Amino acid sequence: MDIKQTYNEWLENAVEDKDLKAELESIKNNEDEIYDRFYTALKFGTAGLRGIIGAGTNRMNIYVVRQATQGLANYVLKKYGNGSVAISHDSRIKADLFMNEAARVLAANGIKVYITSELQPTPVLSYLVRYFKCQAGIMVTASHNPAAYNGYKAYGEDGCQMTDVAANTVYDEISKLDMFKDVKIADFDEAVKSGMIEYVDESVYDTYLEKVMEQQVNPGVCKGADLKVVYTPLNGTGNKLVRKVLGKIGVNDVVVVPEQELPDGNFTTCPYPNPEIKEALAKGLELCEKEQPDLLLATDPDADRVGIAVKDYDGSYRLISGNEDGVMLTNYILSCKKASGKLPEKPVVVKTIVTTKLINKLCEKYGCELKNVLTGFKYIGEVILNLEKKHEENRYLFGFEESYGYLSGTYVRDKDAVVASMLVCEMAAYYKKQGKSLAEVIDGLYEEFGYYLNQTYSFEFDGAAGMQKMSDIMTAVRDNTPKSIAGYDVVKVSDYFLRKETDVATGSVTDIDLPKSNVIALHLADDNAVIIRPSGTEPKIKLYITSVGKDKDNAAEICEKLVVASKEILGVE
């Protein structure tokens, strides 16, 4: 690709968006800037597109969005003959513009479009795909990335994010297109008049909330519990629906963080609007000191994940990890349903392979089948789909991943912070009526099963040399698998790339019935574990450590030893 030629083509053709045109003019003599914007194109993968907003093939802008949508339109038309697509957006900068541009392209291709009249959470988009029986869906969001980013998540007809196969097919279609000459565009207002673009009626969101409400474990438990909540939507999409559902279940004392209440794609008070990061919760924790609630809820900008903090024994606020919240919710659902006789036969819980092994203990206790899937909520959605095909979807109880994503029920096929916020509050009210805080609940589970500490570490490898280094590390671990780590014997090795699991003691090898993924899990004595996973989208290797101790200090001590030894194995600092 001739980068200068591509830049000149943009200068000549990218004339509709005056901001982009000005941006292009301003970098005319800056070769480094031109190179960075045009040396590659944003790749359409299973997460769709994601990049910095701006002019260029390596940026998010109307031309890149149009080209991607034309590729998606070609995919839908070739696979289904015709069809419909649902689109929504979050609070990101230009998110509504990108939604409208995508709608124009689809309408021009004869594909019916359902769009939302205002920003909505990602799980609502998943619901709309299923509600309208669409062939695909688009959510304009960059999830928890910094404010400079926007993105475009693509969904299949089941309401799950696109599979590798579908995403690759769409990418092939996109790659054939000249983004200025091969994209069809309809007039937006005309498409609305003709019915090719239709705004979703408000009543549809009521049906979504009804489905959320059906997931209550103990309806009415919040009434009379005097539960007080501080809530922050982190300037995203959760504000209306989360507060609405909390009001419906009887949680009326909800104080919203004022600086983060309204949609704002600049995220001025939380540069990284990710509930996994303590800094993102700083304003919420400040307000907790003043309001003294039972708990803090924080939903990320597209409201598919929720983080919480709970009042600790000394009155301070304790951050609860995604693993801990998932464990408590699983325990709450299983124990209450068993006590009320509502636990289905052969119940199913689903977690990702990097999520806490403490769930294994809970599932054993309640006779529940535990399914492990690869990282990515679409794989949890796939389990639901397979159960649905056998008319056994009622067996599915709960699915979660350590990065604060949870789903109860089968009405959507993506993680849902609206239902998770409802269940967290219901659970807190249930235990509060018993005189217990959520801090006591999680500590009680640790006392029963052992203190499972789960920590994640990331190591960056820049540039092409970095990608090669990551590949070399994974090859070295495969070729020279350690026999022990920090004095703990390796008892089992799960290689998700080779799709083989080896029992070290017997040498027996079994197949792993999951898609191929470049992940190695080293299972150690005493239920400790080290999982090594290169990121598919960033030059990073992630290390997931599980350490099991008698108490927190003991688990932390074991974790530190495992981290030091694992770094040595990987050859990183």
Residue 534 CA to residue 131 CA, distance in Å, equals 36
What is the maximum span of the chain, computed from C-alpha positions, in angstroms? 72
Instruction: Measure CA 274 to chain center.
Output: 11
Token digits of residue 489:
């014997």
Give the integer Cα–Cα distance in Å for 125 and 531. Answer: 32
Give phi and psi for 215, each to the nearest 5.
-85, 0
Q: CA-CA distance, 568 to 346, in Å (whole number)?
A: 43
143 is catalytic: yes
Phi, psi (degrees; rounded to nearest 5) at 189: -65, -40
CB 241 within 8 A of CB 121: yes
Task: Encode 188-225: b = buried (16+ Cβ within 10 Å), e = exposed.
Answer: eeebbeeebbbebeeeebeebbebbeebbbbeebbeeb
Check 84, 91, 143, 547 and give the catalytic one.
Answer: 143
Distances (CA, A) of 335 to 137, 343, 348, 451: 36, 9, 14, 20
Pairing type for strands 228-232 and 253-256 reads parallel
Report H helices in 311-456: 322-339, 358-366, 377-389, 417-432, 438-449
Angle between helices 552-570 and 463-479 (to 10 degrees): 110
Contacts for 2-9: CB closer than 8 Å, 24+ residues apart: 3/34, 3/35, 3/38, 3/39, 4/34, 6/38, 6/57, 7/34, 7/37, 7/38, 9/180
Which residues are catalytically annotated? Answer: 143
